[in-house]
Each structure stands twice: as structure tokens, then as C-alpha cells.
């Protein structure tokens, strides 16, 4: 018992002692800014597909999954059947940058970026509207286009779309 205690005690102080002679690493922020990994979770953007159309289809999944309920929107529909958010709002004063919204998004529209310098003196300035969130590029996945997979309206038979399997002929399952 005493032996274990002594072992822990000595190991603890040995670690402290080792660090006493290490060269300190001090980053002079904001003069020096370390490049963060691309998947760092900070400021949120709404991306566009390769055709330049906004990817968001106003499905409300991000809003439903958000643990602090800081996403709200109103859906609308174009004449060709394509859905979009009439308005889209994120309250960054509440956002905890968990990334659940990005995980839930079926169209890769909503993405978190490494841009973390978003502090404001006035809390209302942390409420971002669609105009503040929308960017003219595809973010982490530039090529993905949801409507090339899903189609705005059903064109062609089942199994003729990108990555879609042909339906099973049920008669082949009969004994």
C-alpha cells in the first residue's frame, strides 16, 4: 500500500521535474495564428452545389437535431419543384459547435469551418441570416450535387439514376 503511494508520488513529481526544463511553447496570438485542421468545428456556412445553386433543401433535419435549438428556417419551393429556405437563421450565441447539424444534413449544405474568430460585443450581432451564411462554393466536398442523385421530380425509371439499384423482380422470389 505504502509502496504504491510512494510510486505514484515519485512518478508525479518526476513528470513535474521533467517539464521544468522543457522549452516553453508560447504562441503569440493574434500576431501568430496556427493553421487549424480543415475539420475543426467553428463558424457555420451554407454551401452551393457545382451548378451554383444553394444546396439547402429546407428539410429541417439540422434544426431538429440541434441540441440547443439555434437553427430556424422557413421552407419554400421553386416552380421546378426544388425546395429552398426562404430564410435561414442561426443564433451563434447559443451554438455549441457540436457538428450535429453537419452530420444530419443530407445535401452537405451546412458545414462547419475552422474560422473561430467570431466574437462580438453585441449579442444580437451573433444572429446570422441566410445572406451571412451562404457562400458561393461547395466547402469540403465541391463535387457533390444532391439533385443529380435524387432528382427534383421523378424522371426515368427506377434504377436509372446515379448510384440507384434496379428494383428486384418479386417474381424471382417465388418458390
Cβ(128)–Cβ(92) below 8 Å: yes
Please report how close the Cβ of residue 67 comes to ligand SF4 at its closest, in angstroms.
6
Only one of the segments 9-17, 97-105, 120-128, 149-157 lies at the binding site for ligand SF4 (rule: CB under 6 A); that segment is 97-105
The residue (of 7 and 115) whose beta carbon lies closer to ligand SF4 is 115
Find the binder of ligand SF4 among 42, 98, 127, 150 (CB under 6 A): 98
How crowded is residue 135: how many other Cβ atoms within 10 Å of its Cβ? 13
110 and 62 in contact (C-beta within 8 Å)? yes
CB of 69 to ligand SF4, least distance (A): 8
Determine which residue in the list 40, 72, 104, 127 makes contact with ligand SF4, applying CB under 6 A. 104
Look-up of cell digits 463535387: 143
> Under rule CB under 6 A, how many of the chain's residues touch ligand SF4?
26
Closest distance to ligand SF4 from the beta carbon of 119 (Å): 16
Residues in the chain: 175
Residues with Cβ < 8 Å from 61, sequence gap 6 or more? Answer: 104, 105, 106
CB 84 within 8 A of CB 78: yes
Residue 128, interface with ligand SF4 (CB under 6 A)?
no
Q: Which of 40, 53, 82, 99 binds ligand SF4 (CB under 6 A)?
A: 99
Q: What DSSP assignment string belongs to 54-77?
A: B------HHHHH-TT--EEEEEEE
Site for ligand SF4 in 36-75 (CB under 6 A): 56-62, 65-68, 70-71
Q: Report residue 126: phi and psi, to 5°.
A: -85, 0
Instruction: Using CB under 6 A, list all residues that contact ligand SF4.
Output: 56-62, 65-68, 70-71, 90, 95-101, 104-105, 107, 109-110
Amino acid at each position: 500500500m505504502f509502496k504504491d503511494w510512494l510510486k505514484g508520488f515519485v512518478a508525479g513529481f518526476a513528470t513535474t521535474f521533467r517539464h521544468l526544463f522543457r522549452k516553453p511553447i508560447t504562441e503569440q496570438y493574434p500576431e501568430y495564428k496556427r493553421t487549424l485542421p480543415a475539420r475543426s468545428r467553428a463558424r457555420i456556412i451554407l454551401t452551393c452545389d457545382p451548378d451554383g445553386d444553394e444546396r439547402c433543401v429546407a428539410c429541417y433535419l439540422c434544426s431538429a437535431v440541434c441540441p440547443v435549438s439555434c437553427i430556424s428556417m422557413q421552407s419554400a419551393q421553386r416552380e421546378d419543384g426544388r425546395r429552398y429556405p426562404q430564410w435561414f437563421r442561426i443564433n451563434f450565441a447559443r451554438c455549441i459547435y457540436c457538428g450535429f447539424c453537419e452530420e444530419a444534413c443530407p445535401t452537405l449544405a451546412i458545414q462547419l469551418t475552422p474560422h473561430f474568430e467570431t466574437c462580438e460585443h453585441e449579442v444580437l450581432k451573433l444572429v446570422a441570416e441566410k445572406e451571412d451564411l451562404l457562400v458561393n462554393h461547395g466547402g469540403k466536398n465541391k463535387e457533390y450535387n444532391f439533385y443529380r442523385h435524387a432528382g427534383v421530380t421523378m424522371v426515368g425509371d427506377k434504377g436509372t439514376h446515379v448510384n440507384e439499384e434496379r428494383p428486384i423482380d418479386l417474381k424471382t422470389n417465388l418458390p
